[in-house]
Amino acid sequence: MIDEHTEDLGRASGAHGEVLLRRRTTADGEAHLELVVDGVFAMDDVDTSTERRLAAEALRRCAGDALRVLVGGLGLGWTAAAALADPRVAAVDVVELQPALVGWAARGLLPSLAGLSDRRLRLRVGDVADALRSGPDGWDAVLLDVDNGPGFLVHRSNAALYRRSGLATALAALRPGGVLAIWSSGPAPELLAALAGLAGSADAEQVLLPVERDGRRLDYAVVLARRAA
Ligand SMILES: C[S@@+](CC[C@H](N)C(=O)[O-])C[C@H]1O[C@@H](n2cnc3c(N)ncnc32)[C@H](O)[C@@H]1O
């Protein structure tokens, strides 16, 4: 047995606060990556099933080939990796607020992206809200996991993304028939109702994703809507 310990792999401060990437090794020798933003635990890779489901649920609702996907929030890269795992996907653009995280990905510190060798992947530093406003649009899928969901924000500035005007902008960035999917750390009935009530939205629904963690059940969710054709 060894003592549980953490090792910092990268730490940086900038306009959007501090970001820390660290490896936690448990007493039985299991190692996991953790992302901490402004001192608040953002995520780890103990169970990345819901981050991957965000991509899978959106893509299985998308018809056709040569799909173009926008991912808001790189995190540990699992949503982007799941999008790349779909052979119908031709391009995955990831927009990430923290420059340091994009740099660590480029240095191969995120195993999910296996050294960024996939030519369909493009990582950009920026605010996904700006990317959605400025285009180019016509995405087949927009996948948003920039925060814990509407109920528990790490960045207050992200609140606008989950309001009607932010949701309308995200929907407008899709091609007709394209799918918007939003990860949430809990059931999000208000987000679902807002999406369902938007002009030009169709098929709004919520997929509940229960996960067992440390003996506790967590009800994560993905909320989806399609831009009406
Ligand atoms: C919970 S993580 C995303 C996890 C990711 N789905 C994965 O599979 O690992 C949230 C990420 O969004 C980034 N972020 C927060 N606000 C953002 C914004 N407005 N635009 C782009 N990225 C943002 C954070 O820096 C963080 O890397």
User: What DSSP string runs through 46-60?
Assistant: S--HHHHHHHHHHHT
Average pLDDT over residues 191-195: 96
> Same structural domain for residues 115 and 12?
no
Structural domains of the chain, count:
2
Long-range contacts of 40-44 (CB under 8 A, 24+ apart): 40/154, 42/75, 42/154, 43/75, 43/76, 44/76
Token digits of residue 109: 């510190």
Contact between residue 82 and residue 56 where contact means Cβ atoms under 8 Å apart:
yes
Long-range contacts of 29-32 (CB under 8 A, 24+ apart): 29/2
Contact between residue 229 and residue 176 where contact means Cβ atoms under 8 Å apart:
yes
What's the pLDDT score for residue 11? Answer: 96
Compare 156 and 25 and report the one with higher pLDDT. 25
> Same structural domain for residues 101 and 207?
yes
> Same structural domain for residues 141 and 110?
yes
Residue 37 CA to ligand 1 centre (angstroms) = 10
Query: What's the CATH number where 181 sits?
Result: 3.40.50.150
Q: Where does the pLDDT of residue 115 fall: very low under 50, low under 70, confident under 90, or very high at 90 and above? A: low
> Same structural domain for residues 20 and 65?
no
Interhelix angle 189-196/164-172, nearest 10 degrees? 60
> Same structural domain for residues 25 and 63?
no
Q: Where does the pLDDT of residue 136 fall: very low under 50, low under 70, confident under 90, or very high at 90 and above? A: low
What's the pLDDT score for residue 29? Answer: 86
Q: What is the pTM of this model?
A: 0.95
What's the pLDDT score for residue 135? Answer: 72
Please report the atom of ligand 1 found closest to the CA of residue 155. 16
195 Cβ below 6 A of ligand 1:
no
**DSSP symbol at 163:** S
Residue 136: asked if its preceding bond is cis (omega within 30°), the reply is yes
Closest CA to 50 of 24, 67, 75: 75
Q: Where does the pLDDT of residue 127 fall: very low under 50, low under 70, confident under 90, or very high at 90 and above? A: very high
Nearest CA to ligand 1 atom 15: 146
Give the residue numbers spanning the domain of 159.
49-227
Closest CA to 170 of 214, 225, 102: 225
Please tell me the distance from the alpha carbon of residue 22 to that of residue 170, in angstroms, as a whole number.
32
> Same structural domain for residues 39 and 149?
no
> Same structural domain for residues 68 and 98?
yes
What's the pLDDT score for residue 26? Answer: 87
> Same structural domain for residues 68 and 11?
no
Contact between residue 193 and residue 206 where contact means Cβ atoms under 8 Å apart:
no
> Same structural domain for residues 65 and 93?
yes
144 Cβ below 6 A of ligand 1:
no
Instruction: Give the 3-state secondary structure of residue 222.
Output: strand
Is the pLDDT score of 196 beyond 90? yes
What's the pLDDT score for residue 16? Answer: 86
> Same structural domain for residues 219 and 141?
yes
> Same structural domain for residues 174 and 221?
yes
Nearest CA to ligand 1 atom 4: 75
Residue 74 CA to ligand 1 centre (angstroms) = 5
> Same structural domain for residues 106 and 140?
yes
Average pLDDT over residues 52-56: 98
**Interior/surface letters 158-174, b for 16+ CB within 10 angstroms, e for the rest:** beebbeeebbbbbbebb
What's the pLDDT score for residue 124? Answer: 95
